[in-house]
Chains A and B, each alone.
Chain A
Amino acid sequence: MKKIKSLEMVNISKSFQGIFANKNLNLQIKSGEILGLLGENGAGKTTLMNILYGLYQPDSGEIKINNKKIEINSPVASIEHGIGMVHQHFMLIQNHSVIENIALGYKDTPFFFPKIKIKEKILEFSKKFNFPIELSKKVWQLSAGEQQRIEIIKALLNGADLLILDEPTSVLTPQEAKELFVILNDMKKQGHMIIFISHKLNEIMELCDRVVVLRKGEIIGSTETQKTDKKSLAKMMIGREVIFNIKKEKIEKGETVLNVDNINVVDDKGLLALKNISFNIHENEILGIAGVAGNGQKELAEAITGIRKITTGSVTIKGKDITNISPRKIFDQGVSHVPEERIKFGIAPGLFLYDNAILKQHHLDKYSKNSFLQYDKIKTHTKNLIKKFNVSAPSINTEIRNLSGGNIQKLILGREISEEPSLMVASHPTYGLDVGATQYLREQLLKIRKLGGAILLFSEDLDEIFELCDRIAILFEGKFTGILDADDKRLADIGLMMAGSLNYV
């Protein structure tokens, strides 16, 4: 007996600090249906599902189950209504066995001897959906795919008729993903409904009955997968036709600055994040890396700047090998780096503004003499920096944690640009900046280019990529699906390349 025959979300809105994450969203799903939720990062997919799972409360709008309005004010309430969620990052206790993990989250677990009673129930479930599971193994011994299955069982045991999967394939190998799809299709046949969040077009087309495309918190389109194709979905997701609009002056590119040769890099989870990547950048050139977040951009930036270890392959700067040497030595070769997580990597929050203005540069001769720091020079430099880059701060003697995010960002950018790098690695440099600052920053990047610098630009803002870059590489699942000149007509299909459905390499 299914508790949910249909579910409806009506006019859901949710804003964070005045910015809409969801704006008047409507969503329906009925028994035996797999609904895809497609959109770029930050489109509002996860916010919407967190509302449904009771982690957030919507500002307005209502949720209806079987045409009856209900209140979901916590995950417990949501589970009682028959909704289950498998998060992108698993909520499992690594040192406990599978059965202990399942017993922990199960509502009818007895206080004494919990394992005995629950064991039969689990075996019954794994038989019903046809997936084997070893109950006595510890979670840390399991692969990501197996851990995900435990999460699914946990949800099903608690009576979930609606299962929300948040980017379930991002941690899986292709083989594991296929197995997951078989399980999900089985569940569908038995009348479960599934909401499948993804930004991968292939998966959506393969698995889902219907797809809803979100962009910037709004629903852009909702269609049955059979009536659409990847191309139009990609267009909806990216949000426009690609328009070629290059205003930057033409400059002949110079000699090779950065040469990346066949590198393999693993991510924090130990999975291969970059697979045999090769490219180069020349003087007077900006190479843009486009792609949906999480396809290896972070790892690429970290590998080049020395923060992350390169497993195989080599990186050279102007012919000098910098593979796996320390970030400071790489900096000394003229590589500056605007990190993606600026607050996490770029500053020491409790130190003063002027201390932060020389991070990674404090060992340079101009700031230190005989192992003493020269604070008068550092302070003058800081004052110039905040004037030039419009950092609004009460004084340079304040702790940098007191500055707003945008101002911290301007300081970091100023710090990295002021060294006149021969290669600048910039991850999302204008993310979160206001219009004026964005414009100023883009001009600065073009200035570096004009002065003979090479820039590796990571951005999710395609306008920025097209406005600035000489060449554009599209990264998908750790491989390039294209490295094209910015005026190449094939870039009209950039959405498909970002989604991995088209490959020009």
Chain B
Amino acid sequence: MFKIKVSDRENITKTRSFMTNTFSLCAGLVAIGFIFLSCKVNPFFAISAIFADSFGTIYGIKETITKAIPLILIGTGLTFAFRAKFWNIGAEGQLLMGALFGTWIALTFGEFFPGYIIVPMMFIAGFIGGSLCGIIPAILKIKYSINEVISTLMLNYICAEFITMLIVGPWKGSQRFGFPGTNDLPASAVLNLIPGSRIHYATLIVTILFAAILCIIVYKTKFGYEVRVVGENPDAGKYAGINFFRTTVLVMMISGGAAGLAGVGEVAGIHHYLGYPASISSGYGFTAIIVAWLAKLNPLYTIISGIFFAGILVGGDAIQISLGLPAATVQIINGTLLVFLIMGDFFLKNRIRIQRIQ
């Protein structure tokens, strides 16, 4: 007879943490290989094609960076919420609300102001939109103990349907020839691109600044300290007299606001009008959860993990076309990687020993 003994691992070094993550990713890729095999696709070819298409060509790199922008921006916000043990699954809805608020500013004031005024206004409005959507579950949780996983998740649908209602109804534009969607944003509200690419650099700058500022907030300020204490041990937070309501609401303002900024970037940088929710965001709010997790909840590391997952999005799209794989391929890849990362976390935090018992 054998017995499996699980005990806390006492000393977790940075090297061990890094190696565990790398190993989990590799193990995840092996598992994905088997999925490819089941579709009668050579896994080595498919996986190398993913990375060749996303990182191997100039076009691929440009596309990867374009998709990395929302992932990093949302991901940094999520690291903050997750650090406070607030499981924000609603970034998708918060992104949409940001897009909605930004669009409103652009359509209402865009014609009267130049770009250097209207673009900052859009970002601020987007931040507010995302925050409002993030504050609701925070208040519900603290005041009425409503599980935030459910409330944030469900708000995604509310936000998406609300936008759908607007674009087929009151906001439907004459330029769309009867199809759902608003009119195009005025030229002053459209973000400039790096020539020859779809990279809207204004959002890229916002993204990097946001990650850096958040890093300072988390590790250097009183507020960040309180968030870390509450997340690590709520009882200690209570003992130290930390105001849970204030902390949680602020955390979700920042987390939701980040997603809102990303929403503005997508509308003003890529689409230039508010269309169907599924076309504004191809699940960035969910993929960003994995981005935050892989970054070990460090805002700066999301830059790396965000680019990695953007690469999978781009490469995944490419192999769907070239190898004739179903559209769900990318989601399967992302989901599998997340499962393996979480499993890796278990092996990082616990020591597993197999003992023989007589």
* Complex: A351 Cα to B225 Cα, angstroms: 10
* Complex: A242 Cα to B10 Cα, angstroms: 43
* Complex: A372 Cα to B213 Cα, angstroms: 13
Partner of B235, one of A305, A330, A331, A345: A345
* Complex: A305 Cα to B241 Cα, angstroms: 10
A349/B220 in contact, CB under 8 A: no
A402/B223 in contact, CB under 8 A: no
Measured CB to CB, the closest approach of chain A to B229, in angstroms, equals: 5
Instruction: Answer whether A348 and B222 are a contact pair too, CB < 8 Å, given A328-B242, A359-B236.
Output: no
A328/B241 in contact, CB under 8 A: yes
A348/B243 in contact, CB under 8 A: no
B241/A362 in contact, CB under 8 A: no
Partner of A373, one of B8, B222, B233: B222
Q: Tell me the nearest residue of chain B to A347, going by C-beta.
A: B236
A371/B241 in contact, CB under 8 A: no
Residues of chain B in range 7-24 having any CB-CB distance to chain A below 8 Å: 8, 10-12
* Chain B binding surface, main DSSP class: helix
Q: Tell me the nearest residue of chain B to A329, going by C-beta.
A: B241
Contacts of A339 in B (CB 8 A): 239
Contacts of B222 in A (CB 8 A): 362-363, 368, 371-373
Partner of A372, one of B11, B221, B240: B221
- Total A-B contacts with CB atoms under 8 angstroms apart: 73
Partner of A348, one of B8, B10, B221, B232: B232
Residues of chain A in range 400-459 having any CB-CB distance to chain B below 8 Å: 401-402
B242/A373 in contact, CB under 8 A: no
**Within 8 Å of chain A (Cβ to Cβ): is B200?**
no
* Complex: A86 Cα to B89 Cα, angstroms: 42
Instruction: Answer whether A326 and B243 are a contact pair too, CB < 8 Å, given A349-B232, A372-B220.
Output: yes
B240/A327 in contact, CB under 8 A: yes
* Complex: A349 Cα to B242 Cα, angstroms: 17
A337/B239 in contact, CB under 8 A: yes
**Within 8 Å of chain A (Cβ to Cβ): is B238?**
yes
Instruction: Answer whether A307 and B236 are a contact pair too, CB < 8 Å, given A355-B225, A355-B228.
Output: no
B11/A327 in contact, CB under 8 A: no
B221/A344 in contact, CB under 8 A: no
Residues of chain A in range 299-341 having any CB-CB distance to chain B below 8 Å: 305-307, 326-331, 337, 339
Measured CB to CB, the closest approach of chain B to A299, in angstroms, equals: 15
Contacts of A368 in B (CB 8 A): 222
A326/B235 in contact, CB under 8 A: no
Q: Tell me the nearest residue of chain B to A325, going by C-beta.
A: B241
Contacts of B225 in A (CB 8 A): 355, 362, 373
What 1/0 mask marks residues of chain B from 202 to 224 whose CB sits below 8 Å from any chain A CB?
Answer: 00000000000000000011110
A351/B221 in contact, CB under 8 A: no
**Within 8 Å of chain B (Cβ to Cβ): is A131?**
no
Partner of A359, one of B11, B221, B229: B229
B11/A402 in contact, CB under 8 A: yes
Instruction: Answer whether A371 and B232 are a contact pair too, CB < 8 Å, given A327-B241, A360-B241.
Output: no
Contacts of B241 in A (CB 8 A): 306, 326-331, 360
Contacts of B223 in A (CB 8 A): 371
Contacts of A327 in B (CB 8 A): 238-241
Contacts of B228 in A (CB 8 A): 348, 351, 355
* Complex: A305 Cα to B233 Cα, angstroms: 18
* Complex: A329 Cα to B223 Cα, angstroms: 17
Q: Tell me the nearest residue of chain B to A305, going by C-beta.
A: B239
**Within 8 Å of chain B (Cβ to Cβ): is A346?**
yes
Q: List 17 A-B contacts (CB under 8 A).
A: A305-B239, A328-B240, A330-B241, A339-B239, A344-B233, A345-B238, A347-B236, A348-B232, A349-B232, A355-B225, A360-B241, A362-B226, A368-B222, A371-B223, A373-B225, A375-B220, A399-B12
What 8 pairs across the A-B complex have the smallest Cβ distances? A328-B241, A327-B241, A348-B232, A360-B240, A345-B239, A348-B233, A348-B229, A350-B232
Q: A346-B236, A372-B220 are in contact. List 12 more A-B contacts (CB 8 A).
A: A306-B241, A326-B243, A328-B241, A328-B242, A345-B238, A349-B232, A355-B228, A362-B240, A363-B222, A373-B220, A399-B12, A401-B8
